[in-house]
Amino acid sequence: MNLQAATVSSPASVVPAISSGTPTSLARAWLWLGVMALIGSGLLAVLLVLSRTPGIQDVFPLKDLFRAALVVHVDLSVAVWFMAFAAVIWCSVGGGGLAWLGWSGFGLAALGTVLMTVSPFFPGAEPVLNNYIPVLKQPLFFASLWIFGVGMSLAVLRALITTWPARLLGEPLRLGAFLGAVAAFLALAAFFWSWSMVPEVDGTIYYEVLFWGGGHTLQFQHALLMVVAWLWIAGHLGRPSAVSPRAASVLFLVAAVPLLAVPAIYLLLPVGSLPHVELFAKLMEWGHPYMGPLILLGALSLWGVRTVPAAPAKSAFVASFVLFALGGVLGYLIHGVNVVIPAHYHGSTVGVTLAFMGLAYALLPPLGFGRPEGRMAIWQPYVYGGGQLIHVLGLAWSGGYGVQRKVAGADQMLTTLPQKVGMGMMGLGGLIAVIGGLMFVLVCLKAMAWRRRAR
């Protein structure tokens, strides 16, 4: 099979051809890393759900494991999985140059992931549940984070060079991938800037400030690449939007405009100051509406695939849009520090995860793997998305009754029936989602175990 010829013509978004050689090999490697990260994250998710489910939490002494498991679960399922799959996209749409840079970045990121996964089993792993990238105050964990960060920096640098679109307004998916790499570069620069400027102090506040600016910036990367995945899936299914490539490219550029504020905030305000913190919070509130037209384009593409026969990528597209939309709505309902915050967070991030799952299904055959087939592949996004929907609604319900975030066991103080019902929904939905995540891993492993020979 000639991978370079595997394109689908469409007015709005041509499915990019994946060049043989380095782009295909690197994309395969990053996909393996992402799947392995999800396996580790899923195993830890079982402990997280059980530690907060009424009845079970009182039988098993899981409270002490909750915080350490939460740190590694979040870092594997968000930092590693999202960044690894972003690299899959960048390698798939990019050229074959700078192979040494790509493989160096992958090797370091893989090593960092392994060290991060085993770090809780070494002495002195004190969890700090700050936002975005929670940490274990332990030398091995910090070493793993630095190694992974350097690896991703090399991958992002290569992406900036190899994904630059030859036609700025003629290749929307490649442009979207490039703008996602720009967001990743700004986020990594923000992390380093904050680390170099903020004096280290004991406590959560230091890590909160350290990852605040870069963490907010990464949300734009995830959202941009989510829409790239949506449009790619629609093209893969043969139902691309009728919007012209020029119009779609303009929408990606508009969605990326808020990124201009990131260096401005860092240049004009001291890192960690109240205005600095508040402006990044406002950037999310004021900046994400710029994504609105691009999300609408995704909705139109979703409408376009409604008549397509059942397929794994289609199922993931539907579930992704529903969860992301729900997460966006819940973001505007946050009042105080309660579990409405993780409800919003889970809805949005799961929307991105499902988009990446759907694109993974679409990319398996072009990357030389087997085709995801069978009922499990078609139903997996609905099981995972349905479980997460129950999980998110349970958190949102409980948050309305004052249940606090980042606590487990008796510390949750579930005293009323509505609180217990909501957190019971959370537990049930979480367990269903774990099953859905396991189904995704099994489908991928089955397809990836049967490498197809190019014809």
Per DSSP, 14 falls in state P
pLDDT score, position 339: 55
d(CA 333, CA 70): 24
| Range with the largest mean pLDDT of 138-152, 193-207, 268-282, 336-350 | 138-152
Q: What is the mean pLDDT of residues 427-453?
A: 83
Which comes out higher in pLDDT, residue 417 or 375? 375
- Which helix (H) or strand (E) segment holds residue 287: the answer is helix 274-287
pLDDT at position 11 is 45
Measured distance CA(346)–CA(358) in Å, rounded: 18
> Is the model more confident about 45 or about 192?
192
What pLDDT shows up at residue 399? Answer: 56
For residue 438, what are its two tokens? 């396991």
230-239 per-position pLDDT tens digit: 999 999 998 8
What is the mean pLDDT of the segment spanning 206-234? 93
Rounded mean pLDDT of 99-125?
90
Report, as an integer, the average pLDDT of 52-79: 68
Is residue 173 within 8 Å of 234, Cβ to Cβ? no
User: Which residue is associated with the tokens 């609905």?
Assistant: 382
The average pLDDT across 26-45 equals 88
Nearest CA to 346 out of 334, 364, 328 is that of 328
Give the C-alpha distances (Å, rounded to integers) separating 423 from 144, 387, 429: 33, 13, 10
| pLDDT for the residue numbered 151 | 97
User: How far apart, in Å, are the Cα atoms of 411 and each of 54, 346, 403?
Assistant: 12, 21, 10
Write the single-letter amino acid at 382: Y
Q: What is the average pLDDT across 18-28?
A: 88
Residues with Cβ within 8 Å of residue 5, at least 6 apart in sequence = 17
pLDDT tier at 186 (50, 70, 90 boundaries)? very high
How would residue 158 be classed by pLDDT, with cut points 50, 70 and 90? very high
CB count within 10 Å of CB 215 equals: 21
- How would residue 176 be classed by pLDDT, with cut points 50, 70 and 90? very high
- pLDDT category of residue 63 using cuts at 50, 70 and 90: low
Tokens of 343: 């409800």
Give the Cα separation of 310 and 298 in Å (integer).
19
The token duo for 296 is 């609408």
Could you tell me the CA-to-CA distances from 172 to 15, 46, 250, 253 in Å, in that order?
10, 39, 8, 9
Q: pLDDT of 312-361, one tens digit each?
A: 999 999 999 998 888 877 766 665 555 566 666 677 888 999 999 999 99
- For 44-53, what is each residue's pLDDT tens digit? 766 666 665 5
Please report where in the chains the tokens 């175990």 appear, as a residue: 449
H/E stretch holding 311 reads none
pLDDT at 53: 58
pLDDT above 90 coverage of the chain, percent: 47
How many Å apart are CA 307 and CA 73, to the nearest integer? Answer: 37
**Between 359 and 78, residue with greater pLDDT:** 359
When the candidates are 3.30.1490, 1.20.120, 1.20.1530, 3.30.460, the CATH number that belongs to 308-455 is 1.20.120
